[in-house]
Every structure is written in structure tokens, then in C-alpha cells.
Amino acid sequence: MDRIDRNILAELQKDGRLSVTELAERVGLSLSPCHRRVRALEDSGVLLGYRAQLDPVALGLNFSAMVFATLREGDHAAVEAFEAALVQIPQIVDAQRLFGEPDYLLHVITQDLPAFQRLYDDSLSTLPNVQRLTSTLVMKRVVQDRLLPL
């Protein structure tokens, strides 16, 4: 990956809706070489995709919590079962496996506190192999969706 590829990625991180023509202009390439480079970045897996960024509050999703999960057992089958179950809960918008304790950090977004309580009682607390769940409420998002440093 060279400087031009990094410039392409930087521009697409800022605005994924750029046309290839606009992108080529911004990075100083003609249309065909720019298109080939974008396609190569997609094919190599560096450029994963394009999507719209939504405002949860504008959609009525006003409640955000971080949930820490500790598993009873850490064997391969237990971890796989837990992670497969996480994928099935759409209110979990981010899930990270951690070193040490707790084992997982889950970012959960719901409409309000009662919706979170229902989700916690009906889904989160019944996840396979869970020993302990601990939650903390998000007061304010300070840094979010930061562009990757290129």
C-alpha cells in the first residue's frame, strides 16, 4: 500500500459516498487507475464496505449501556456458543472479547431504561455460559466513529 492508496482510504473514510470521479480528482489520479485501486483495496479486504452512519437518538434509541460479561468457562465450545448467541441480539451494537476479566465488553443500545431491563432479563442474562454481568450507563459519547489514522 502506497501513499495514493492511503489517500484514497482517507478520502473514503471522510465520505464513503464519493463517486470514483470525485475520488480520483481528490487524490490526483485519472478515473481508471483510481477505480482499479479502489477495487484492489476492496478485494484485499482493506476496504470492508460502505454504509450510512445513523443517529440513535434521532431514531428513538435514547439509552446506551456498556455491559461487561464474565464467562463460567473459557473453553472453545463455551466461547463459540456465547459469541454465536451475541450475534442474534440486534441491540448489541458492538461486542469485544477482552484479555483478563471481564471476558467481554458489550455496547447495548435500546429505546429507554425499561427496554434495557427487559433485554437484560430476557436475553443478556440467559446467554450461554454467563457467570456474571455488570452494567454501566453511558452518560455521553465523547469520541465515536473516529477515522483510522493513515
pLDDT digits (tens, 9 = 90+) for 90-105: 999 999 999 999 999 9
Stated pTM of the model: 0.86
Over the chain (150 residues), the average pLDDT of each successive run of 10 is 96 95 97 97 96 93 97 95 97 97 97 98 97 96 90
Q: Give pLDDT, residue 144.
A: 86
Q: How many Å apart are CA 10 and CA 114, to the nearest integer?
A: 40
Q: Give pLDDT, residue 100.
A: 92
Q: Give pLDDT, residue 145.
A: 85
DSSP string spanning 99-144? Answer: SSSSSEEEEEEESSHHHHHHHHHHTGGGSTTEEEEEEEE----SS-
Q: How many Å apart are CA 11 and CA 24, to the nearest integer?
A: 10
Q: Give pLDDT, residue 121.
A: 97
